[in-house]
Amino acid sequence: MYFSSTRGGQQHVGLDDALRSGIAADGGLFLPESLPQFSADQFAAATTLEEVAAILMRPFFLESSLLPQLPAILEETFTFPIPLVTLEGTSGHADVMELFHGPTAAFKDVGAAFLAATLSRLHSNDSEPLTILVATSGDTGGAVAAAFNERENIRVVVLFPNERVSTRQAHQLSCWGSNVLAIAVNGSFDDCQRMVKEAFADSQLVSNYTFSSANSINIGRLLPQCSYYAHASLTHWRATGRAPGFIIPTGNLGNAVACLLVKMMGLPVGPVIFACNENRTILDYYDTGEWLPRASIETLATAMDVGDPSNMERLRVLLGEKTLRDADIAVRMITNNEIQARIRADFACYGRVHCPHTATASHAYHCLTDKQRSEQDWILVATAHPAKFEATVEPLIGDTLDLPPSLLNIENRASDYIIIDPSIDNLRNSLEQRFQHGSNG
């Protein structure tokens, strides 16, 4: 299995190099040159998530030095449950896939753990420390910092938009060991993402640091995320004989592209709905066929505040001449008012408490017609624990949320970060002040 850049300038790259570099030399994103094809029967003996992942991931590792270690990598990745919980009391059949039971209570824990397991092995004998750059709109940075915290010969630099993440998220981004540098950027997530891409293209920085990325621009984030879509679709297929549709809270499109990859590999995945917040870029593309990135705006679903989603580049290559509609993909935009109303309604009707992002998926489901709900089974993707957004959620439900044990442990850690304006020069200076070139941090 080899990988090529979405821009065509770098081709036939092995998995090891694609993981290490994160982004292609031409600025594009890596995609498999061909996708393996599966049938549900090939997974007949695979019942657990880890067993499904082992079959699904093996073709991607065939040319990799990591193939003998794949079982250990998956064991390190899937250390927490990802249950499907039936949403009782609705017309039709809907399950909620809970992706928030990991160390930082967000779906990003899966990809972060996989990257930590793979990159730490690939880089264990290198003389220069690996510096992982990650832009985050809330959850990615915390998951990556936790996964790589205190790992030898690896540094992590987390850039997040200052005062545009929740207080609890900011703490989770900035409470780690000396190998983690947290930077609050006076700007948007798009500014953070731009700075990361500029760093990869900056000859001075590249000569001084060995960079990789842990954003969903790294193919190593998407591959393990494919596993839970495969497991969920197979579980539902075996129980009902029907291919479930998925409703996915969507910001930078990594989680959504992972689901689409699973569908393209032949597994039983039905229609897909991208649930977006008031950042309209993906909806406008769905409506007009034109890709017009724009500045992001702040919403209650902060981790989805993305105006120029990186993974649209992958999605457009995968679709080719097809439109989103041709690929059985729909897009629905959910407003702040609708997010608030859905959190209230689902708590009152079902006793479920959603984070603002998961609420977009739930609202998209409730906007379906009775026919769409009766003729198609759905899986709603729950991306984060509501306690990460207590300032938004608790007033809406009139109750206090208990922190899961993983977040309680993080709350007790001391927090420290620096604040900079959004420029590559400021990032360069921050790296120089924190990390001496050639040291382990």
In a domain, 418, yes or no: no
3-class DSSP state of 382:
strand
Query: Of all residues in the chain, what percent are helix, strand and coil, respectively (each to 5)?
Result: 45, 15, 40
Whether the predicted pLDDT of 438 surpasses 60: no
Q: pLDDT tens for residues 65-91?
A: 999 999 999 999 999 999 999 988 787
116-to-72, 106, 375, 406, 416 alpha-carbon distances in Å: 12, 16, 41, 18, 22
Q: pLDDT tens for residues 85-127?
A: 998 878 789 999 999 999 999 999 999 999 999 999 998 777 7
pLDDT, position 441: 43
pLDDT, position 341: 98
Whether the predicted pLDDT of 21 surpasses 60: yes
In a domain, 332, yes or no: yes
- Highest mean pLDDT among 173-177, 275-279, 370-374 belongs to 275-279
In a domain, 152, yes or no: no
In a domain, 37, yes or no: no
Q: Is the pTM of this model over 0.95?
A: no
% residues pLDDT > 70 (the chain): 99
Whether the predicted pLDDT of 219 surpasses 60: yes
pLDDT, position 307: 92
Nearest CA to 119 out of 89, 156, 159 is that of 156
The domain that holds 240 is classified in CATH as 3.40.50.1100
Task: Out of 123-137, 193-207, 282-296, pick the least confident.
Answer: 123-137
Beta bridge partners of 97: 84, 381
In a domain, 62, yes or no: no
pLDDT, position 105: 93
How far is it, in rounded angstroms, from Cα 229 to Cα 291?
A: 27
Whether the predicted pLDDT of 255 surpasses 90: yes
Contact 92, 374 (CB under 8 A): yes
pLDDT top residue among 276 and 441: 276
How far is it, in rounded angstroms, from Cα 104 to Cα 180?
A: 16
pLDDT, position 189: 87
Angle between helices 336-350 and 356-366 (to 10 degrees): 80
Nearest CA to 299 out of 282, 279, 285 is that of 279
What number is the average pLDDT over the span 257-266?
98
pLDDT, position 154: 92
Tally of domains in the chain: 1
pLDDT, position 125: 74
Supply the range of the domain harboring residue 352: 78-107+220-405
pLDDT, position 436: 63
Task: Out of 58-62, 204-208, 341-345, 355-359, pick the least confident.
Answer: 204-208
Nearest CA to 230 out of 49, 402, 19 is that of 49
In a domain, 92, yes or no: yes
Q: pLDDT tens for residues 320-339?
A: 999 999 999 999 999 999 99
pLDDT, position 440: 43
Q: Write out the DSSP string of 207-251.
A: HH-EEEE-STTSHHHHHHHHHHHHHHHHHHHHHHSSPPEEEEE-S
